[in-house]
């Protein structure tokens, strides 16, 4: 088994796949890349049992076979090469020899058969989504997903597909983000919960792709195929909470303000807030928004006045500044709308401009009780 491949091309593909591999694997074989050679086509795979990703590379070869090569060692050596062709040869003494312009390097390999076989989806549902839409949907929602191991369903992003459009939701019970597209549709109604790790991997590579992503899914697994990659992952098992029930429908108090102005103000004032509650207070009356925070233990306090466009009753409401900053940073619009009803009901944050046709973003942030 022998093949020739460009060093930088191989490194670029392996770095993407390397993000699948855990730093401490229960099975030693998972510390390897699986190389499967079929003449001029090389498929490289990496897995942590939950997520498996493979890339198909075009190379120069006339042989077939499969070997598992140590991932860390291979990535380290590839990073040091300038762009050049490398020749990989599988020797009889259980090593893979890499020949470069300047030398030879031998790595011990394991038999390809030891590598866990990836799941084959029987009769899956299929939806096609443009790569940029999926990348945006993931980056707009993933930051709001929870980290609570006791509530695994909240630690992922909820995908809802229907002939009306696609919806992506993430929540950790303090904040919630719902990203919807009416311009991309699925043929039938389906929903599933995607774990964070495969989504982060997708987010990092979809941004530079303009392909269509083919999403195939059943009750337990989903695969994402685009360009020369296939990502397969196990879905989170369980029923996603009814998020529509927590989004307040009647919000008579509406505040419109410049996003970057509001964000910088919240950032500055938050420095003076209590270090455990991170509480900031919004006091709105007429066209004036007063943003303040106080840390009674250390006698620290800050207050800023901003002009805004406000319709509604005078209102005082408290928010966790970290959640507010995360949400405002994640929005790209110039102006934002904050809709509220009562100081103990969630506030709804939406962008006023900068959205594409058919795109909606709704962010919900739970208030914190104000100690008067």
SS3 of residue 315 by DSSP: strand
Instruction: Give the domains, in start order, of the chain with CATH numbers.
Output: 2-114 (3.10.150.10), 125-244 (3.10.150.10), 249-368 (3.10.150.10)
pLDDT tens series, the chain, 372 aa: 999 999 999 999 999 999 999 999 989 999 999 999 999 999 999 999 999 999 999 999 999 999 999 999 999 999 999 999 999 999 999 999 999 999 999 999 999 999 999 999 998 999 999 999 999 999 999 999 999 888 999 999 999 999 999 999 999 999 999 999 999 999 999 999 999 999 999 999 998 888 999 999 999 999 999 999 999 999 999 999 999 999 999 999 999 999 999 999 999 999 999 999 999 999 999 999 999 999 999 999 999 999 999 999 999 999 999 999 999 999 999 999 999 999 999 999 999 999 999 999 999 999 998 875
Residues in the chain, total? 372
CA 27 to CA 50: how far, in whole Å? 13
Tell me if 3 sits within 8 A of 63, measured CB to CB: yes
Q: Supply the pLDDT for residue 370.
A: 83
Q: Supply the pLDDT for residue 372.
A: 59
CA 209 to CA 198: how far, in whole Å? 17
Give the residue from 122, 90, 121 showing the smallest Cα distance to 108: 90
CA 11 to CA 84: how far, in whole Å? 12
SS3 of residue 7 by DSSP: helix
Indicate the pTM of the whole model: 0.93
> Tokens 């890339």 identify what position?
55
SS3 of residue 279 by DSSP: strand
CA 176 to CA 278: how far, in whole Å? 18
List phi, psi (to 5°) of 27: -100, 120
Which residues fall within 8 angstroms of residue 134, CB to CB, at 6 or more apart?
Answer: 202, 206, 213, 224
Burial class of residue 337 in the structure, from the number of CB atoms within 10 Å of its CB (0-12 exposed, 13-18 middle, 19+ buried): middle
> Tokens 């795109």 identify what position?
359
Q: Supply the pLDDT for residue 207.
A: 83
Q: Supply the pLDDT for residue 24.
A: 92
């Amino acid at each position: 088994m022998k093949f020739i491949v460009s060093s930088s091309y191989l490194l670029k593909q392996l770095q993407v796949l390397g993000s699948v591999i855990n730093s401490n694997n229960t099975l030693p074989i998972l510390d390897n890349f699986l190389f499967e050679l079929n003449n001029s086509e090389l498929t490289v795979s990496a897995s942590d049992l939950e997520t498996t990703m493979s890339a198909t590379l075009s190379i120069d070869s006339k042989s077939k076979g499969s070997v598992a090569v140590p991932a860390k060692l291979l990535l380290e050596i590839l990073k040091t090469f300038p762009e050049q062709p490398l020749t990989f040869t599988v020797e009889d003494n259980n090593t893979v020899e890499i020949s470069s312009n300047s030398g030879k390097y031998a790595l011990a390999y394991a038999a390809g058969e030891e590598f866990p076989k990836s799941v084959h989806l029987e009769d899956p549902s299929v939806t096609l989504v443009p790569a940029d839409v999926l990348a945006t949907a993931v980056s707009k929602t993933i930051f709001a997903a929870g980290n609570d191991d006791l509530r695994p369903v909240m630690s992922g992003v909820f995908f809802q597909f229907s002939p009306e459009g696609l919806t992506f939701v993430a929540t950790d019970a303090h904040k919630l983000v719902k990203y919807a597209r009416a311009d991309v549709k699925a043929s039938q109604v389906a929903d599933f919960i995607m774990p964070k790790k495969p989504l982060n991997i997708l987010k990092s590579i979809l941004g530079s792709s303009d392909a269509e992503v083919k999403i195939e899914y059943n009750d337990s697994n989903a695969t994402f195929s685009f360009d020369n990659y296939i990502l397969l992952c196990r879905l989170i098992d369980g029923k996603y909470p009814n998020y529509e029930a927590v989004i307040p429908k009647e919000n008579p108090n509406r505040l419109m303000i410049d996003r970057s102005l509001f964000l910088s103000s919240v950032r500055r004032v938050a420095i003076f807030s209590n270090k455990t509650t991170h509480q900031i207070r919004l006091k709105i009356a007429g066209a004036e928004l007063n943003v303040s925070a106080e840390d009674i233990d250390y006698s620290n306090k800050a207050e800023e006045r901003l002009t805004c466009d406000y319709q509604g009753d005078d209102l005082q409401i408290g928010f966790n500044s970290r959640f507010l900053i995360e949400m405002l940073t994640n929005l790209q619009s110039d102006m934002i709308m904050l809709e509220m009803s009562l100081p103990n009901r969630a506030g709804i944050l939406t962008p006023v401009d900068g959205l594409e046709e058919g795109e909606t973003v709704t962010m919900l942030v739970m208030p914190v009780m104000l100690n008067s």
